Chain A
Amino acid sequence: MTVVGEIMNIFASLTMRHLDGHKRSTCACDVLTIDEREIPSVFIPIVGPNGADIELFVKEGEEVKAGTVIGRRKDFYVPIFSPISGTVKGKNNRYNPLVGRATPHYEIVNDFKQTPAEPLKTVSFESPREDIVRAIKEAGLVGLGGAGFPTYVKYENVKDIDTLIINGVECEPYLSTDFKVAERYAADVVKGAELFRLAAGAEIGIIAIKVHKTAMKNALTGALADYAHLKLAEVPDAYPMGWERTLIQKLTKRSYDKLPSEAHVLVNNLTTAYAAARALLYGEPLTHRIITLSGNGLKQEANVLIPLGTPMNLIVAKVGGYAKEEVTAFAGGPMSSKAVSDDSFAVQAPMGAYTVIIPTPHQEIACLRCGTCTAVCPANIQPIEIKLALDGDNTDRLLKLDVMRCVECGLCSYVCPSGIEVTEAVRKAKVKVRIALAKAAFAAKK
């Protein structure tokens, strides 16, 4: 974003933009812990993300302990654990933000004893690579930075990786869970980083954080002292600096087409690294996480440590409730999340935040073709041209505009001076393109 950088980028997009972070208050204050006795039940979805089937190992009425495997996803090998000890009361339909509609959940009634189940089989830094990867698999680790992608898939059949990156950038405004996890559990974060590095077979591991995060930097630097192959790197305070592609480009100057492994790099979230250390070295499956509750729609902002499966409305009530009758709320940050229509959903592992804002009236005027959206798109596509092609129902042109590369980061709508819903237009264009490609594939098969 310097003048020189801008001039060098005569044609290409700048790919990032500094946003207001809104993190100061949640970073500065302590993490709230909700007393277990205040949580009568937790709700675990028995349908996976994208509607995948889950094979259930416990039935209604059975007793479970904290860490019991209650089921396993059928699409990928991902064991699902009970976060508390208690009884499986029954099935319960509630809204599931990761699927986008209401799905059945198991309701587990809390017996407040938090009896631990058998710990997971542990490994050490000296264990062979396959054992480490198997331990990741058995721990049911998924990407805790929001994606929820099964972690072990990245490390199975991996080849020629020379760099492992731990993504502690947390570029979404409002979120500060990675910050808190690093601040409190730096030693475990670093251990998890080392485990991932060994699992990947990488020469070096880089923990990436944003500049000006002093507490994070100090904590991690102290913990990194004993690790010869790990180091800390600071990246600019811009969005979406934490997007895989942008981060890899910044740290290694490499680019790739579809997967980071093409660039000999693997990336995992910082909180996932922490969870990996707890599971692989101490046998503790993931039962709790820190999430950030913030936004001017809440009476109080805080980071909260809660068991997975806690209904959000309970957490909001504990934190002080909503500031206004009408709010816009989303499970995640303001840039890449979708608004929810009710707050009864249960917290799942990949959810790092619940942000509530007081909606402001939105003014939209004519596009002035300034091209700022194109000049800032991290995926290097042309949002305004996509919108114009969509408005003109020109699917042929859409197929040429690389629409599917959009990651819905929201920057195009953010920068638009006319207040146009550009990101939404590109989302709609993606649907059109998917349909067109499916039709073409179907026609080709005939």
Chain B
Amino acid sequence: MKFIVTPGPYQRGTHKTGIVMRDLLIALLLVWFAAIAYNFTIGAAYGVKAILMVVVAAFVTLLCDILVHAIRYKPEQGAYIKTLLKHVRENFSLVTAIIFALTLPIGTPYYVIVLGSVFATLLVKYAFGGFGNNIFNPAAFARIFVALTFAGSLTPHLGDASVVPTLTAGATITTAFANSTALKWLGDSLAGLNVTMPQAWLGFYSGALGEPFALLILVLGIALAARKALNWRTPVFYLGTVALTALVIALFAGINPLNYILLHLGLGGLMFGAVFMLTDPVSGPTSPFGKALIGIIAGLMTVLIRIQGNLPEGVVFAIAIANVLSPLIDRMTTAMTNQKLTQKWLVLGGLLFGSLALNGSIAFAKVLGQAEPSSSLSSDGSTSSEESSSEESSEEPIIPFKVLSGAYTSSACEDFCAEQTQTVDVNLDDRFAIISIELSGANTTGGTYTTNWTASEAAVVAYYESLSIVEIQALDPNAMPSEALVAGVTVTSQRLLHALQDALADVEVYYGNAVSNAYPDHYEDQTTNVGVYVIAGVIEAIDVTGMVTTGGSYATNWNNHYETIRDYYVGMTVVEFQALAALPHDSDGFVAGLTFSTERLFQAIVNALSTYGG
């Protein structure tokens, strides 16, 4: 009779880690199958790639598992194969691999998937001690790694963007929506963006592989929480914070709150991050309070990055920040779980209020600041600022970028007019388009001339305001178009034109363009047109039209940097500019990651100024 003594208790529950991981795996497989099905509707190549992306990630991760085991193996642990199988079984790397692969868009090159999987498994996971010991979520950090290192390769299409109907100029709906309004992520509609709201939630659009299926992921999340495969607190507090913050922003910005909340929750992989990445127990806090807290922190950061940050999407970065804060949260949560409840509620409430206040006031300030025309160019070259500036000019005066003044004195004519001087101020914006023209000085001799002139003056001024500088310079005072010539008030009309031409006399306009050649499978030939305005040898303004970038994150980056790039040249003398032998790569005129666009702009200006001095 032998009594085996082990430490108690001697009855154990049946809900094991293996079951938790199995449930997560099943949910991920369902999302993957949805992605495969959707991608096959675009084309066979897309469907196959969707399958292979996950297969490659899983395979590479398995190789990493084998490598680590080979390094760590000691014969006293047992038979090699047996310990290897145990090692693979107990490290659950497959789940990481699938999550990582599902965060990547269809166009991700295979080598990026391989590098990302290796980064996730070997570096973020095993270098910290393997399953259970990693501080950071391996899939999230690998996603950040590939986003920063291979930004250009993460396209949502396989070369020809036009094949995918739900993309807007090669950009995903999230990027397109983020840039669809003058203020980033502050719109309430998907109009004109090739994806409808129901589509956005059901997932019939192209983004990252697994992220579009917001509704499916939400349902799976509820099921997983009910099965205790994840803790409900984190996703509920995360989604709740994002929804409440979106509500407050919508109220401040005057946009439809329900739409705005649905867009925040449905786009950008937020559901996927909420259910599969933020809920990773290993990289989060252990206490129930901590799990709720990181939900709120991640919600705050997600919305903040979306409306104020550079990138179109903030979910993975918010998850990264939550991971970084988790050990500190654990450190500070030493009290018994039923103590300090008031304190805990105050912390949660305070952070939630912080999210509402911070994000709300940023949105509010941006909406107020919309009085300034933001000259953001979208990738098809159309300028959205002209509409907004003309709307705005009727509400409040716009400060002109440059004012050119001129005057002309017409000589007295026998009997019916004295010598009179017309002064004009031509108000120009930063592209030397005419904003307005102000007149001063006596206009006519009086009497019926004044009456006739006064009646038509506004229309004449409006006509000149609609012209470009070049067009006004080209007008002949002796052959004036009918819109500029008021019947019976010839002298005054001519005097006005002379005055305008005097104001614009020193302006030299040079036109030019540059073409970048097509990059097969990535983008077509692109042309940038510029008009360079020079006064007394100094570049005063540059007007840019034509294809600027390929779209997507390039467009966002370009829109944020365009003004500084252009303004680098404005103020330079032509001589100084021509002394630049080539585009300086370390100046404000150059933007990392937008090489082609910046060089093409530079080249266009070079071409325009090639006729200077001639």
Contact = CB atoms under 8 A, between A and B. Distances in A.
Interface stretch (A216-224, A264-272, A407-415): A407-415
A106 interface: no
A366 B7 contact: no
A9 B337 CA distance: 10
A318 to B, nearest CB: 16
A371 B228 CA distance: 11
Contact of A366 (B15, B130, B341): B130
A173 B12 CA distance: 12
A361 B453 CA distance: 104
B136 to A, nearest CB: 13
Contacts of A28: none
B577 to A, nearest CB: 60
Interface string A2-40: 000000011111000101100000000000000000000
A336 B19 CA distance: 27
Nearest to A365: B90
B282 interface: yes
Contact of A10 (B1, B6, B19, B233): B233
Contacts of A402: 335-336
Contacts of A325: 1-2
Interface string B326-355: 000010011111110100100000000000
A369 B130 CA distance: 13
A235 to B, nearest CB: 19
A417 B133 CA distance: 16
B284 interface: yes
B6 A335 contact: no
Contact of A369 (B1, B10, B132): B132
A335 B11 contact: yes
Interface size class on chain A is 35 or more
A13 B17 CA distance: 21
Given A366-B90, A414-B13, A339 B8 contact: yes
Say what secondary structure dominates the interface of chain B. loop
A355 B13 CA distance: 18
A108 B278 CA distance: 67
A342 B334 contact: no
A330 B337 contact: no
A10 B12 contact: no
A370 interface: yes
B292 A11 contact: yes
Given A11-B344, A340-B3, A366-B130, A415 B13 contact: yes
For B12, B130, B228, the residue with the greatest tally of chain A CB atoms inside 10 Å of its CB is: B12
A121 interface: no
B286 interface: yes
Interface stretch (A133-141, A145-153, A158-166, A419-427): A419-427
Given A11-B341, A369-B281, A380 B336 contact: yes
Interface residues of B, number: 47
A181 B344 CA distance: 46
Contacts of B13: 17, 414-417
A443 to B, nearest CB: 23
A327 interface: yes
Nearest to A364: B90
A391 B338 CA distance: 25
Interface in B128-143: 130-133
B287 A419 contact: no
Nearest to A358: B4
Contacts of A421: 7
Given A365-B90, A385-B334, A417-B20, A371 B288 contact: yes
B16 interface: yes
Contact of B281 (A19, A343, A370): A370
Contact of B292 (A10, A173, A359, A377): A10
Nearest to B19: A417
B9 interface: yes
Contact of B10 (A12, A330, A419): A330
B6 A339 contact: yes
Contacts of A417: 13, 15-17, 19-20
Contact of A336 (B9, B131, B344): B9
B5 interface: yes
Interface in A343-401: 343, 355, 357, 359, 362, 365-372, 374-375, 377, 379-382, 384-385, 397, 400-401
Question: Of residues B6, B9, B285, which shows the largest number of chain A Cβ atoms within 10 Å of its Cβ?
Answer: B9
A351 to B, nearest CB: 16
A434 interface: no
B289 interface: yes
A37 to B, nearest CB: 25
Contact of B5 (A328, A377, A400): A328
B10 A400 contact: no
Contacts of B4: 326-328, 339, 359
A334 interface: yes
A341 interface: yes
A112 B125 CA distance: 71
A170 B585 CA distance: 79
A11 B288 contact: yes
Contact of B231 (A370, A397, A400, A413): A370
A411 to B, nearest CB: 8
A338 interface: yes
B291 interface: yes
Nearest to B9: A410
A12 B337 contact: yes
A184 B282 CA distance: 52
Contact of B336 (A337, A355, A405): A405
Given A328-B4, A366-B133, A334 B11 contact: yes
A322 interface: yes
A321 B233 CA distance: 50
A100 B605 CA distance: 92
B6 A328 contact: yes
Nearest to B326: A369
A14 to B, nearest CB: 10
A418 interface: yes
A433 interface: no
Contacts of B341: 11-12
A19 B13 CA distance: 8
A414 B11 contact: yes
A339 B7 CA distance: 7
A211 B290 CA distance: 35
Nearest to B293: A11
Contact of B286 (A12, A338, A374): A374
Contacts of B133: 366
A276 interface: no
A329 B3 contact: yes
A411 B8 CA distance: 10
B9 A362 contact: no
A165 B285 CA distance: 39
A380 B338 CA distance: 6
Contact of A343 (B3, B233, B292, B339): B3
A328 B10 contact: yes
7 A-B pairs closest in CB distance? A366-B132, A410-B9, A334-B10, A424-B7, A12-B338, A334-B11, A380-B336
17 contacts: A11-B344, A12-B341, A326-B3, A327-B1, A328-B6, A330-B10, A336-B9, A342-B3, A366-B130, A369-B284, A380-B337, A380-B339, A381-B336, A382-B286, A382-B334, A414-B9, A423-B8
Given A410-B9, A417-B17, A417-B20, 20 more contacts: A11-B288, A12-B288, A326-B3, A327-B4, A328-B3, A330-B10, A334-B9, A334-B10, A335-B10, A339-B4, A341-B3, A367-B132, A368-B20, A368-B282, A369-B282, A374-B288, A382-B337, A414-B11, A417-B13, A418-B16
Interface of A: 9-13, 17, 19-20, 173, 322, 325-330, 334-343, 355, 357, 359, 362, 365-372, 374-375, 377, 379-382, 384-385, 397, 400-402, 405, 410-411, 413-419, 421, 423-424, 427
